[in-house]
């Protein structure tokens, strides 16, 4: 059973890498929904001023040292897909060593950490 699952994971990774490599250059150059709303409402400049995002490794889904935009976007998609896979694999191996109750508690508190700041502020708090 484990061997079959491993094959499924590697085939899935291969398909994801092929999609990232060959389809990402054809992605729309139009702004996504959030970016469009920020431009329409006039607050997109506020996010661009953060120094943290100026040093992002794949700003606008491109690699700065590659001049061909299509090749740059394709490699950016390939590297990003592989990086997320390796991070997920590492977290999975880490969770495998931890008892299930602790993993459930960790997921619960981590979700609070990520989702509470996105909730609207309640008046009076």
Q: pLDDT at position 82, please? A: 92
Q: pLDDT at position 125, please? A: 46
Domain-located, residue 116 = no
Domain-located, residue 64 = yes
Spatial separation of the C-alpha atoms in residues 106 and 99, rounded to whole Å: 11
Rg (CA), the chain: 19
pLDDT in tens, 27-65: 777 767 777 888 888 777 776 666 666 666 776 777 778
Range of the domain at 55: 2-98
Domain-located, residue 121 = no
Asked if residues 24 and 61 have their Cβ atoms less than 8 Å apart, the reply is: yes
Domain-located, residue 17 = yes
Domain-located, residue 106 = no
**Residue 111 reports pLDDT greater than 70:** yes
Number of domains in the chain: 1
Residue by residue, DSSP assigns 41-91 as: HT-HHHHHT-HHHHT-TTGGG--TT---HHHHHHHHHHHHHHHHHHHHHHH
Domain-located, residue 73 = yes
Q: How far is CA 33 from CA 16, 22, 39, in A?
A: 24, 23, 10
Phi, psi at residue 11, to the nearest 5°?
-65, -40
Domain-located, residue 62 = yes
Between 103 and 8, where is the model more confident? 8
**Residue 123 reports pLDDT greater than 80:** no
Domain-located, residue 9 = yes
Between 1 and 78, where is the model more confident? 78
């Amino acid at each position: 059973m484990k061997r079959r699952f491993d094959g499924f994971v590697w085939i899935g990774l291969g398909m994801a890498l092929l999609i990232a490599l060959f389809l990402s250059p054809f992605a729309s150059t139009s702004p996504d929904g959030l970016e469009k709303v920020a431009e329409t409402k006039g607050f997109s400049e506020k996010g661009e001023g953060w120094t943290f995002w100026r040093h992002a490794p794949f700003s606008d889904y491109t690699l700065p040292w590659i001049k061909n935009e299509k090749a740059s976007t394709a490699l950016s998609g390939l590297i990003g897909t592989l990086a997320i896979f390796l991070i997920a694999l590492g977290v999975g191996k880490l969770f495998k060593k931890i008892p299930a109750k602790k993993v459930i508690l960790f997921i619960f508190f981590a979700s609070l950490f990520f989702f509470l700041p996105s909730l609207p502020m309640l008046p009076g708090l």
